[in-house]
Structure 1
Amino acid sequence: MNIVLSIENRNAVLSRMAVLLEEQRANLKTINQQDLNNYSGDDLAMEKRLLVDDNKIDGMILSLQQLTSQEDPIGQVRFNFTHDNGLKISNKTAAFGTILIIYESRPDVTVEAGGIAFKSGNKILLKGGKESLLSNQKIVTLWHQALKDSDVDTSWVEYLNYDRTETQAFLEKPTQKVDLIVPRGGENLINFVKKHASCPVIVSGRGNNFVYVNKEADLDQALAIIINGKTSNISVCNALDKVLIDTNLPDWEAFANKLTAKLKEFNVTVLGDEAFARATQVPLIENDLIWYEEFLDYKIVIGTTNSDQEAIEKINKYCGGHSASIITKNEAIAQQFMDNVDTAAVYHNASTRFTDGGQLGLGGELAISTDKLHQRGPIGLQHLVTNKWYIYGDGQIR
């Protein structure tokens, strides 16, 4: 295991990396354009994630600045106890050691996730997708420059330029010690990592998020929240894929038609269950399996329900365990929904697009976990630690 760097060392590297990104802004965009030109796929979400523009670079720099200003997550005391025999016992946060991050297409992850893992005192192994290779390699040269400029060994950040076969071999028999793996990407990537990994994996799961429009909803709010959740960014795991409408809502068909018309203005393909399709003339879903799907596309499925309990049960059956929102003016019903829906984030009268480390006050996230161990939802700086027991004695024996 690496000797943990001092907080001063870690912060110096992060600050320097922010400066280098600003200095290399134009160069990075030019190199990223080569990746975009080389990308021949027709996956719109993948292409959006691949792009590095001024907004993305601003976000990378901001994440590093925020990380630098946050307190050290290592050495935080979680528990203190003095034994009857005089032993002084405490439990403190500690670095994992080496973290492998496997991700698709997003060069900003090379900065943001790498920065969170590094600030948490960990060595970083980065395994990006082939479609973003040139952008990632450029960013890693900046990491190495920032490390050298701060008199820190460049081995703290390493890029693994492996194909699928090499990645599988490394997961099964790592050529160096790996303490934690975080896959960020689609279900195929996550399943591949879970199947082959020989050390703990935090599953950064799929979205497939739901909005439930209760019979006491403010319909203007409902409309705005659904449009925002579906159309503001289709390529992210906190985007909206499913809507349930309470048929006890007065004149729910009129709302259904208004919502459908609005979604079509944004070129969203709308599919419905039997009641919704009959009310709006949208195509009927082929079968219920579509309720399990995450779309990452301009596509949405809207269904109906006649009770809050049925809505909760349907969400718990089909959702990805990520985010769900209820639109209602009834606070008691909202609380019941939030307490019983089994997702990492639950919302009342707000868009699911806020499930994000930066938006939830964490200053960015390594990933958004849909596992329940060891952390659920956005994994921020303070969650990317394990713990360690410190026992101070004076010759005690048991």
Structure 2
Amino acid sequence: MYITTRKMNTLLSIEKRNAVLLKMASLLQKERKAIIEINKKDLEAYKGDDISMYDRLKVDNSKVDEMIKSVTHLASQNDPIGVELFSFKHDNGLQVYNKTSSFGTVLIIYESRPDVTVEAAGIAFKSGNKILLKGGKESLCSNLKIVELWHQALKEENASTSWVEYLQFNRTETQEFLENPTQKVDLIVPRGGEQLIAFVKQHANCPVIVSGRGNNFVFIEKEADLEMALKVIINAKTAKISACNALDKVLIDKNLPNKEDFINTLISNLKAHNVEILGDETISKNYYIEAIKSDDIWYEEFLDYKIVVGEVDSTQDAITKINKYSGGHSASIITKNDTEAKSFMENVDSAAVYQNASTRFTDGSQLGLGGELAISTDKLHQRGPIGLQHLVTNKWYVYGNGQIR
């Protein structure tokens, strides 16, 4: 059933917004077992063979802990609304301010992850936005239970349940809503695979922030600490394969000292973690691993126990290759040479760049934001994790006493 309301919600006080968030944290704790049991229905109903999808779908005690931590942290953060960005006193006495302001209504379309139903709604609500949640059919039971808790938290704090709404639409209904929304939508965030993103961009009639693919790279520069490099690669590849910040490609400087020993050790460690290893022409020939069949594989995000290893001539070659093939998400250089690292980090066109660290840190909570609505690979209006302070626009406040121009 379509929503027909067009009335904009009146901004709640920061005290009221925080109270709702803390109430939600309490309800998540209280309903922990029920959430996990209901999630089992979604898990049992899932018939696909996508292990990353299944991993994102699953809710366990650790996942509930993360949900609780997310909304609790949001409640502790400063109000992102009304923050002064600029002020100016005109010669004629006009006092001018530019301040942050909520977007209004945000629609997020996402796949599989029930924790997004907590985190995205919490960030939107705290930043004064109404949120429309359109989750995937595979997580329907979990999502509806969590939205039920949002509505309970809102009611108990005497706030309208319309702040958080769930759109139980099929694909055809979703397309119709994108093309002819029955209420004003100010911003859409698709969070999922490339097909979902393309679908939303094709049919949406308002601004879209793309939470794009990962396809992240690590470059092992010739002055790398090899023990560190091995540790970073194994973590970035195997810690959580379903994450968009997981590693897909490794580039190795051809002048790396002890290169053969390092690559053999890397291959051995990756195989011990059941990672399928593919190599470019040089690596596959010299280290007896399967060769890539086409350069197109350099564009792919795997979300699986799979990795491509290649050799490059220099830092500049690594930069060129990453900028050509990556998803613009995250890239890391392992090196003791800060000059090479600076060149790499300044010239790689990704939302997050690292020296001597795993790409797995590209995450709102890990980068100090507390949580994230999504990780944007767009450059406007926000790049990288979209946290509480980013889900705002701005407007001008001008105070006068009869001035005319």
- TM bracket, shorter-chain basis: over 0.9
- How far apart, CA to CA, are the structure 2 residues paired with 1:99 and 1:111? 14
- How far apart, CA to CA, are the structure 2 residues paired with 1:108 and 1:307? 41
70, 86, 104: which one pairs with 1:79? 86
Query: CA shift at 1:45, angstroms?
Result: 0.2
- How far apart, CA to CA, are the structure 1 residues paired with 2:359 and 2:94? 48
90, 113, 130: which one pairs with 2:137? 130
- How far apart, CA to CA, are the structure 1 residues paired with 2:364 and 2:147? 23
26, 32, 40: which one pairs with 2:33? 26
- How far apart, CA to CA, are the structure 2 residues paired with 1:60 and 1:205? 23
Gap runs ≥5 in structure 2? 1-7
Instruction: String of CA shifts for 1:305-357, please: whole Å, max 9, x gaps.
Output: 01111110000000000000000010111011000000000000000000001
Aligned pairs for 1:1-398 within 5 A: 1-398=8-405
- How far apart, CA to CA, are the structure 2 residues paired with 1:391 and 1:116? 28
- How far apart, CA to CA, are the structure 2 residues paired with 1:322 and 1:286? 25
CA contact (8 A) 1:257 1:279 kept: no
- How far apart, CA to CA, are the structure 2 residues paired with 1:27 and 1:264? 39
- What residue identity is the alignment partner of 1:28? I
- How far apart, CA to CA, are the structure 2 residues paired with 1:218 and 1:324? 17
TM-score between the two structures when normalised by the length of structure 2 = 0.98
Query: CA shift at 1:69, angstroms?
Result: 0.3
1:158 aligns to what SS in structure 2?
A: strand
1:397 aligns to what SS in structure 2?
A: coil
- How far apart, CA to CA, are the structure 2 residues paired with 1:275 and 1:101? 43
In the alignment of these two chains, the number of paired residues is 398
TM-score between the two structures when normalised by the length of structure 1 = 0.99
- What residue identity is the alignment partner of 1:226? I
Query: CA shift at 1:251, angstroms?
Result: 3.0
Instruction: String of CA shifts for 1:127-163, please: whole Å, max 9, x gaps.
Output: 0000000000000000000000000011111000000
- What residue identity is the alignment partner of 1:232? A
Query: RMSD of the TM alignment (CA)?
Result: 0.5
Query: CA shift at 1:256, angstroms?
Result: 1.0
- What residue identity is the alignment partner of 1:266? H
Question: Which residue in 1 is equivalent to 2:5?
Answer: none
**Between the two proteins, what is the percent identity of the paired residues?**
70
- What residue identity is the alignment partner of 1:203? V
Large movers: runs of 4+ above 6 Å: none
2:242 aligns to what SS in structure 1?
A: coil
Instruction: String of CA shifts for 1:164-195, please: whole Å, max 9, x gaps.
Output: 00000000000100000011111111111011
1:362 aligns to what SS in structure 2?
A: coil
CA contact (8 A) 1:256 1:279 kept: no
2:91 aligns to what SS in structure 1?
A: coil
- How far apart, CA to CA, are the structure 2 residues paired with 1:108 and 1:51? 9
